Structures are given as structure tokens and as C-alpha cells.
Amino acid sequence: MTDTTPEARTLPADTAPADLARDRFADLVRSVALGAVICGHWTMAAVSVDAGGALHVGNVLARARWAWPATWVLVLIGLFFLVGGFANATSLTRARARGLSSRAWVGRRLRGLFGPVVPFVALVLAVVGIALLVGAPRGLTATVAVAVLMPLWFLAVYGVLVVLAPLGLRLDARWGWRVWIVMSVGAVAVDAVRIVTDVPWYGYLNYVLVWGLAQQLGFAYRDGRLTRVRAPALALWAAAGFGTMALLASTGEWSWSMVGLPGDRSPMNPPSTQALAHVWAQVPLALLARRALAGRLDGPRAAPLLDRVADASLRAFLWHLPLYVVVTAVWFAAGWPFPEPASGLWWATRPLVLVVLGALLVVLLGLPARLRRRRAPAA
């Protein structure tokens, strides 16, 4: 709930401490980032049936490589970790004010993060096991299982960043922006070693350096250092970031698409120099959007809606792919045709598909509350 104390009401949005009021722009960014992942997965899934009646699942971007510019705008993983840094700093500061140690805070934070994930993974594995027992194709079942569970990677990375948050805050308090420079240079060095040796494992350190950089920037967002940057400087900052991305992609060493495609070096797995530039490009755009939107998000209509969406965003992320699998399975079992991926008909039907899946997801997420109301004793 938003604080309505006189101090909270009179401080400007760009300078008010994060502890005084809920930052609904941060909620919005997190919800949009997760929503973009959901819509991206639903859109990119290229489901087709071959002449023998077998179901195949691929990535439509492999057939429509011209769509790569959308990935520069709609892949918002860096912004998710930016807001994660903001949330971690806010939560840890409040915990310390209550006398809670950093170690106790980390444990509590991890339990809150992975509490809903563990039963979800257990359920998915149980369903996969049952499907194999009843004779489902092993290859397709494995593909679906990996597709459903793979997106959880960034929750695992976020868990690592939670563990590192107390150290990151100490480094930020002492060295500030110098930490950003060291992490950026380190990420470029790690990527260079990975390219020269062609050993992907070396690049895995960048899961901490690149996404950890986004968390450090989230610390600076929380205390107002980033929100005080003027709009012209933010515009130049964004232009430099996207210009760097274009320069890197033009060398042929990094992909134009921020989503990994067959035959290309994935910019995200592990995070590359291109992913690093992507973080630097998107953060100033988010800050520019904040200037335009922040004052409108606490209104009597926007605030309750945004609060509900933000509170449901993680559950929506967990269940969006299982929902897609069930809908696809029902469609396939009914014998209905699938449009050829990347065809004109396929693109024309995507808006309807997104609307239908979105409506079904809202219904799915609302089921627990409806069941609780039905079980509640009458007054």
C-alpha cells in the first residue's frame, strides 16, 4: 500500500526514498518484462504437423529472421534484473532496519522466490513421467519438458543475485559507478575468452557479470542516481547502447537477433557482449519512460490494476507454457489444422491466439481464489 504520510506526498517522484512509497513504475517494468517473455514464447512457438501426422515444435524466428528488430525491443531480461536489484536493495534495507541479518534476509528471500517454483517443477516432472508411461513420443515429450522448464533459468540467476546482493550493496556504497565499469570490462573479457577458446563454459561467468550489472544499476535507480539523469543525456545514452549493438552485430561475431537461432552464436546463452550492450541500451529507455509514466501510475484506476498484475506476474510466467502445451495438445487431438509457421495466415492469426491464450491464463490464475471462496463457510 502506498504511504500517505506528508513526507511521501511532498517529496518529488524522482527524489523520494523508495521506502516511503511503492514504486509502481518498478512494478510496471517487472510486469512488462515478464509479459514480454510470455507473449514472446507464445508467438515464437512454431507448431506444425508433417505429412505423417507427427507434431513438430520450432522457433518461428528461424524461418522469419527479418523479425530480429523486435527482439531488441521485446527481450527485456536486463530490465527484469534492474528491477530485481531495486527490489533486493529495498527489501534488504528494510530488513536491516528491523534488525535482521543479511544471511537471514537471503534465506527468507530465497524461500519466497522458490517457494512457488518447487511444486511447479515437481508437477511438470510428474506429468512428463505419466506421459512417457502411457506411450507419448519420447523425443517430443522431452522437447516439451525442456521448453517448459528452460525459462526458469533466469529465476535461478536471480536467486544467485539475491545471494550476492549484500556484497553488491557494499561495493556500490564504496565504489559506485566504478563497479559498473569493472563488471562491464570483465564481461567483455569473459566473452572474448569464450570466443577465442570456443568453450561455452567460460562464458557462464557472464550470468553474474552481465545480469549482476543490471542489479547494480537497480541499486542506483533505488537511491535516485539514475532518475536524476536528464532526458537529453538518457537519449544519448540509449543511442550509444543501440549503436554499439549494431556495430557488434555487423561484425558477424554476434547475432542480430537477441534470441538464439540455429547457426548463430546465442547472445544470451551465455550472456555475451551483445547482451551487455543490450542492458546499457534499454536502461535509459526505461528511465525516459518513467519520466512520462511515473506520475500516472498511482491514480485510483491505474494503481489497483497495476498492483494486481504485478502480484500475479510470477505465477503467470510459471504457467504460461504449460497452458500453451495443453491448448496445443487439445487442438492436435481434435485434428484441427495448424497454419504453416511464418506464413501469412500464421501471422494474421497471432493476435487472436494471444488474446485467447491471455484470457485462458487469466482464468487459470483466478481458479485458486474461486476455489477458496467456494470452500469458505457462509457467514
Nine-digit cell string for 230: 536528464
Question: What share of the chain has pLDDT > 70, as a percent?
Answer: 92
Kindly state the average pLDDT of the residues 167-178. 97
179-216 confidence digits (pLDDT tens):
999 999 999 999 999 999 988 889 999 999 999 999 99
Domain segments of the chain: what residues?
A: 6-34+73-300
Residue type at 100?
Answer: L
DSSP for 46-109? EEEE-TTS-EEEEEGGGT-GGGHHHHHHH--HHHHHHHHHHHHHHHHHHHHHTT--HHHHHHHH
Who contacts 288 (Cβ-Cβ below 8 Å, separation ≥6)? 231, 234, 235, 238
pTM above 0.85, yes or no: yes
Centroid of chain to Cα 288: 20
Cis check: omega of the bond before 69, within 30 degrees of 0: no
Return the pLDDT at 371. 61
CA distance 203 to 180: 18
- 261 pLDDT band, cuts 50/70/90, is confident
Mean per-residue pLDDT, 112-120 = 89
pLDDT of residue 16: 37
Instruction: Using CA atoms of 117, 319, 61, 141 in order, give the dihedral in degrees to the nearest 10.
Output: 80
Q: What is the mean pLDDT of residues 105-133?
A: 91
Residue 135: per-residue pLDDT: 84
Residue type (1 letter), 346: W
CA angle (109 as vertex; 103, 176 as ends), nearest 5: 70
